[in-house]
Structure 1
Amino acid sequence: MKTLVFVSLVGLFLHDTTAVMHSLRYFFTTSSEVPNFPEFVAVGMVDDIQVGHYDSNTKRVEPKQDWMKKITEDKADYWEWETERAVYYQQSFKVDLDNFKQRFNQTGGVHIVQVMVGCEWDDETGDVNGYDQYGFDGEDFIVLDLKTMTWIAPQQQAQKLPQQECPDWLKKYVNYGRSSLMRTDLPTVSLLQKTPSSRVTCHATGFYPNRAMMFWRKDGEELHEDVDKGEILPNHDGSFQISADLQLPSDDWGKYDCVFQLSGVKEDIVTKLDQREIKTNYVNPIYMIIVIIAVVLFLVTIVCVAGFCLYKKRNGERAKWKHSNMFFIFTSGE
């Protein structure tokens, strides 16, 4: 079974500005014959943070952030309203799935329709961008209208979130969760290495938001060769992590440093490439052999000492028994 993953590029940012590109995305997944998985799942994301969830098993939209509960102060029936919309989407996308299966002459088996709709808003310039994507069985799906010779979405349901409605709600959500969404948490940066000959990894974890960059420099210039940049990944506590690998330099290590930049924070976190600061779990095989030999000798010594003590104890008991027996014979003879 193929899996479709929607990836959105929020865009580049300048690390010395406090401007933030906010985003609101809805992910809808309709499936058939997928074991232990709801037929329909809807997830709402604000700035890549999950804020709401609905599936065909629970049949109710539930908030995933405490600050999202504040929205009932302005709209008391908000969650009921969202649930009604989710039920409508569930029915609508079920029809889409059936239509796709008929179009491709497919009946049984596992099939998945995924839809992502949303918008982005720059809180400094006010610019708004909207988007929607359709996917069927792991492939992006669009249809060519032969009458107009234009590419269009296969169903009108791909336009379920009006362009004006999306940024309006996005601004409301950002206002409700401003204290959480607009916070900045600096990371812990470490240099890691598996073996003395492997690449050096610069790893930053615990930062927020996820609009961050990491790269290696040599003599103050960003390196593009011999560098492997990783993606920003989420941590279990809502923060993020990122890493960048550097091929071991053949020249002076003092020329190299790792730079971490976080949106909204003016100062970079710069970590010099210093072999003394590298953390590793690597153990030299020679040292390992020495440790094993030392452990074996220690165990042999313990066994020998225990055997000697046991031997002495047994001989002492025998000598004591013989002495007692001789005393008994001697006294009996009298």
Structure 2
Amino acid sequence: MTTVQVSTPGGAYPIHVGAGRLDRLAESIPADATAIAVVTNPKVAALYGDRVRDALAATGKQVFFIELPDGEAFKDWQTLNLIFDALLQNRLDRKAVLVALGGGVIGDMCGFAAASYMRGIRFVQVPTTLLAQVDSSVGGKTAINHPLGKNMIGAFYQPIAVEIDTDVLTTLPAREISAGLAEVIKYGMIIDAKFFDWCVANVAGLRTLEPQAITYAIQRSCELKAQVVSQDERESGLRAILNFGHTFGHAIESGLGYGEWLHGEAVGCGMVQAAQLSALTQGLSLQSVRRIRTLVQEIGCPVNPPELGTERWIELMQVDKKTEGGQLRFVLLPEIGQACVGVVPQEALSKVLEPDTASATA
């Protein structure tokens, strides 16, 4: 097991990465907890529910399970209320602890419920998808979607621990692994050029979940995200670079309907578009654009965006948390390993959004 430490004004906590961490969840439950509520979905519960229940029984606390419908399409107010209903019906108090057992949707909703219930109770992240392990479980972003925009309603609220069991990845379909790897390679693009090079060299091992490769990828991704979040918990500046590719990606998810593309697939494609935009506005070399596109393709993510129409693209992107005063702001790369946030000329954006001209920067 390795441990990555996160330290923010909202709380300091460990990220434990290793095989068999599901069996040691009791270690992350505070001694004064009065009850434990595990928030999950039927698919994850069928795989790991009994194992998690047995692990948490070692605390001597009462353990409840709350199952939510599976999928991004259910990341909304109605589903969030199912958590509150169960907490109130079982009379859980302020010393109860929530456990988010699932992917990013479960983690985001459980975290938002923890931030809101009785004005804030403790929770533990137990991510079961690669994408959640390297991204959404770390940093305290919690949210639900609105029909007009993804993750627009939520709170910054840190967990008390993140437990990453690398064994659970073996039950994921290949498409989910690819989606998670999109967030892994993102860290190399925006912060660590050497890590990008490492991902290029080890892409085959990452896709097949070679134990040493995938464990290092998770550990390094968490280290890099912790580094950014510790400096800027509430995304007032530096943390915005973690959204590289996300302005395009969120537009894809909203435009096609939540769940049509996986979040990581949309982000992977969005990173290619953001690289093309960087070439037009920041001087990113065409060789670097091609390297990014090739790596996104090699991890198994789409590199060709859906044809939504330029006006629709811009309409969807206007509902983005980086938009200020009506101006779209994008995360851009002057070079691989460095990122900045800025406004771009409309002409450059239009070129990226028009399929015929975007291919010129690919």
TM-score grouping bracket, smaller chain normalisation? under 0.3
Larger relative helix fraction: 2
Given the two structures, how large is their TM-score scaled by the length of structure 1? 0.27
TM-score, length-scaled by structure 2: 0.25
Structure having the larger proportion of residues in strand: 1
Structure number with greater Rg is: 1
